[in-house]
A and B are shown apart, each in its own frame.
Chain A
Amino acid sequence: MTQLLLLLQLRLRLIARVVQGGAGRQVGRWPLLFLFVLAGVLLMTGLSVAPAAFMAVSEHGAGGLLAAIGLIHLGWLVMAMLMTSLSEALDLRRMLRYPVSPRLVYLFNIAATPIDLPALVFVPSLMACVLAAGLRMGPLAGAGTALAVSFIALYTGALLQLANTAFERFLRHEWVRAIAGLLLALFFVAPQMMGRVRAHAADLVELGVGIGASLRWVPTVSLPALIAQGAMTGDPLQLAAGTAGAAILLYLIAALGAAFAVQVARAPEPVARVRARVGAAPARSRTLDTRVPGQIATLLGRELRYLARNPALIVNLGLLPVYLYFFVVARPLGRTGGEYFAVFWVIQIVSTYALNQFGFDRGGVRQFFMLPVSTRRVVVAKNLLISLVTVVTAGLAALTLALLRQPLSSAQSIRAGLILLLCLPLNLISGNISSVRVALPMRASFGPARRGRGWANVGRSLGVMLGQVVAVAVPLVLAIIAPPERRFMVGAIGLGLETVAAWAWWWSTLDRAARRLSDERESLLTALASANEEG
């Protein structure tokens, strides 16, 4: 019991630490605000969906409950897996050194599922189910449903832990992880392939109910449903059978998961499995040396090597034609507006690198301060690399559209090019700030080191994206209200002027960015160098 209390205390401390970076470093006001906004949005989503769960149970009884808890179970699992980087579960690997049973830690993590961010969306709906059953069918039905939804929460936690262990075990190798990312992305665009995105809301509800009902074949849904059904109909045999079955299944999943997790935790650290042999000196950077002056060429050559060894970029580039095909070529954006989506996706990829330019350097960032190179040159090399990524990605997008649909018209090309040229310096300016102030270590292997920090990344990406949307929208709105024959010119001139201003702004901020990098090197080193020690 004392150990359980200590674990609870530790878990709460970890949650409290989410508002801090590594080594107690404050992340900053905006990311913290984003965390609260995110929690608020999730809770509001949960509260807005809960009435539907209430209606399903109060109007359709056990059948409605089955569909509701089925959807909640599935949705919770998917969302929790997507939000792994925001989670603060206790890391089994780090707990092995203490005289605490690893199984106890594992079970604790399962039980603590309802105190994580994704729970804000789903717990209100589970409570609504209990309330509906209690109010409509009496206290016994309410108590039975409460037991059923408790099992749903525990099953979700148990399967989530199992999935996380499986990810850690099988996705340690970064290329395997990259392929898995690609498959996951394809899974999410699958409805697009089926034309589901164009479906009416009623169809989507029907689809949801259908999915929920089809989950009756899944024991983690059907056994809790059986408990609730027994309680609602007053059938003690069904109630007892459901409870016993649900408990046995939970025990089996938890025991299997715990054994698997302990085995994975005792395996060697994933850091030893970084891709092994690579060529000693690719020719690419050598040719660069003759074109770009000295130190910047050397820095850029290193950046290019790093980037070429980053599977995330390859996956992003690989996904670009896939997304363009599904969203632009095969409807729904059709023949108009496709270039905006292409530009959006290119910027999305570029932002990933621009906003956290030192993330993949991790402890190596120290080299920039040890070596005789000015911080301005470091910033310029980083910005040059991002510009190169932009050019390559935009070229790939244009090629994809040309091959799969038709080449962009000159007006579309000019508009898309100007938007990109406008957004690039904005990304660089904000990236030069956030890369120093909110540096996040990116690791080669899947694992818990990134947990609890990912939300800062998501928050700042959204903020920067919003700023770019506003900047792009102003001239485009002006173009819309202009006379039809002048629309293109007004839009192009507006975007052009903003672009020139944005690049001038970028140039004027370079010295400040260099100074910031130098002045705030200690916090940057703390954020990134300590990540190396974390593994």
Chain B
Amino acid sequence: MTGPDDFAIVTHELTRRFGDQFAVNGVALHVPRGAFYGFVGPNGAGKSTTINILTGMLAQSAGTARILGLDLDAESLAIKRRIGVVPDGPHLFDRLTGAEQLRFAARIRGLDRRTADQRTDALLGSMDLLGEAGKLIGSYSHGMRKKLSLACALIHNPELLFLDEPFEGIDVVATRHIRDILARLIASGHTTVFLTSHILEVVEKLCTHIGIIAGGRLALEGALDALRAGDGGHVRTLEDRFLEVVGAPAEKPALDWLGAGERT
């Protein structure tokens, strides 16, 4: 029997409209504490909108959400103290240095100066950013910003980590390193990770639980192993399951002219 305290995230009828269009439509999420939850879906399915609502960037049009047992609307500051967020676009303060940005993120969360300095150095080292620590973020590449953004999200040792497409624009080495950090985080049992991605292989390797969103609606949710299990003990890949839920690609125009001799 599971109670509300067993979940890091619970949403009820979460809805977000842009004009007449529903970006998220009545989503009911149940993310268990300590889970590595992969939130997947096709482009434009509502993944980023959902994560933006859950992290306070966007207001929902309807519905409720409880994060770490707290009400999203009434206790948003208390929630923000306990979560870490890596948004899709790593928007940081361009005119701070990497080290200054990290210290700012630590101090604003109430860490004392000494702890902030120690963790800043440790995270910069871990993210291979020590050499760039004194440079303005404005001169950082996309990958460096993404790593710094992750460092900012981790500096206060959050209970819940939101990662929106964390591997996009990151090289193979950095991706591997970040995956290792996340795996360690989950193994500690202290942290829940909510990750959106459209790279199913990564999600399949890392996640313990999966939610599939399509057209703004939560199409499927559950433990990864349970979702992959088919009839007669047959185990399917996440991609198979995903295509089953989202639907196989519809019939598309043939594009016969593509690659043909005529070039204009």
Would you give 30 A-B contacts (Cβ < 8 Å), ordered by A? A271-B138, A276-B135, A280-B134, A281-B103, A295-B110, A301-B104, A305-B100, A306-B93, A306-B96, A309-B95, A309-B136, A361-B93, A362-B94, A363-B91, A363-B94, A364-B94, A367-B92, A367-B93, A370-B55, A370-B85, A371-B105, A371-B109, A372-B78, A372-B80, A374-B77, A444-B94, A444-B138, A522-B57, A525-B57, A532-B94
Residues of A within 8 A of B87 (CB): 366, 370
Whether a CB of chain A sits under 8 angstroms from the CB of B29 is: no
CA distance A364 to B91 in the complex (A): 5
Instruction: Decide: A373 near B93, CB < 8 A? Known: A272-B139, A280-B133, A444-B138.
Output: no
User: What 0/1 pattern do residues 99 to 140 of B give for CB contact below 8 A with A?
Assistant: 110011101111001000000000000000000011110110
CA distance A383 to B95 in the complex (A): 20
- Interface of B toward A, CB cutoff 8 Å: 55-59, 77-81, 85, 87, 89, 91-97, 99-100, 103-105, 107-110, 113, 133-136, 138-139
Q: Is the CB of B108 within 8 A of A305?
A: no
CA distance A271 to B57 in the complex (A): 26
Q: Is the CB of B89 within 8 A of A533?
A: yes
Which of A302, A360, A529 is B104 in contact with, Cβ under 8 Å? A302
Given A278-B134, A305-B95, 11 more pairs with CB closer than 8 A: A281-B100, A301-B104, A309-B136, A360-B95, A367-B91, A370-B85, A371-B80, A372-B77, A372-B108, A374-B77, A522-B57
Nearest chain A CB to B66's CB is how many angstroms away?
A: 17
Which of B79, B89, B134 is A277 in contact with, Cβ under 8 Å? B134
Residues of B within 8 A of A370 (CB): 55-57, 80, 85, 87
Q: Is the CB of B94 within 8 A of A274?
A: yes
Which of A289, A309, A360, A521 is B57 in contact with, Cβ under 8 Å? A521
Whether a CB of chain B sits under 8 angstroms from the CB of A298 is: yes
Which of B96, B108, B133 is A373 in contact with, Cβ under 8 Å? B108
Q: Is the CB of B108 within 8 A of A529?
A: no
Whether a CB of chain B sits under 8 angstroms from the CB of A369 is: yes
Whether a CB of chain B sits under 8 angstroms from the CB of A484 is: no
CA distance A529 to B104 in the complex (A): 19
Residues of B within 8 A of A360 (CB): 95
User: What 0/1 pattern do residues 347 to 358 of A give for CB contact below 8 A with B?
Assistant: 000000000000
Chain A residue nearest to B81 (CB atoms) is A372
Residues facing B in A265-283 (CB within 8 A) are: 271-281
Residues of B within 8 A of A225 (CB): none
Nearest chain A CB to B154's CB is how many angstroms away?
A: 13
Q: Is the CB of B108 within 8 A of A371?
A: yes
Q: Is the CB of B97 within 8 A of A280?
A: yes
Q: Is the CB of B104 within 8 A of A363?
A: no
Chain A interface residue count, CB cutoff 8 Å, equals 45
Instruction: Decide: A364 near B133, CB < 8 A? Known: A274-B139, A372-B77, A525-B57.
Output: no
Which of A278, A286, A301, A369 is B136 in contact with, Cβ under 8 Å? A278
A277, A299, A302, A367 interface centre (most CB from chain B within 10 Å): A367
Which of B55, B89, B93, B138 is A302 in contact with, Cβ under 8 Å? B93
Q: Is the CB of A364 within 8 A of B92?
A: yes
User: What 0/1 pattern do residues 73 to 101 of A give for CB contact below 8 A with B?
Assistant: 00000000000000000000000000000
Nearest chain B CB to A356's CB is how many angstroms away?
A: 15
Q: Is the CB of A275 within 8 A of B104?
A: no
Whether a CB of chain B sits under 8 angstroms from the CB of A337 is: no
CA distance A150 to B91 in the complex (A): 47
CA distance A295 to B81 in the complex (A): 13
Nearest chain A CB to B168's CB is how many angstroms away?
A: 14
CA distance A410 to B238 in the complex (A): 79
Nearest chain A CB to B5's CB is how many angstroms away?
A: 22
6 closest Cβ contacts across the A-B interface? A363-B91, A372-B80, A274-B138, A364-B93, A372-B81, A366-B91
Q: Is the CB of A286 within 8 A of B91?
A: no
Residues of A within 8 A of B79 (CB): 372
CA distance A67 to B22 in the complex (A): 63
Residues of B within 8 A of A372 (CB): 77-81, 108-109
CA distance A272 to B136 in the complex (A): 10
Nearest chain A CB to B196's CB is how many angstroms away?
A: 16
Residues facing B in A498-522 (CB within 8 A) are: 519, 521-522
Residues of B within 8 A of A310 (CB): 95
Whether a CB of chain B sits under 8 angstroms from the CB of A483 is: no
Nearest chain B CB to A465's CB is how many angstroms away?
A: 28
Residues of A within 8 A of B56 (CB): 369-370
Residues of A within 8 A of B105 (CB): 367, 371
Which of A276, A302, A306, A374 is B139 in contact with, Cβ under 8 Å? A276
Nearest chain A CB to B36's CB is how many angstroms away?
A: 21
Residues of B within 8 A of A367 (CB): 91-93, 105
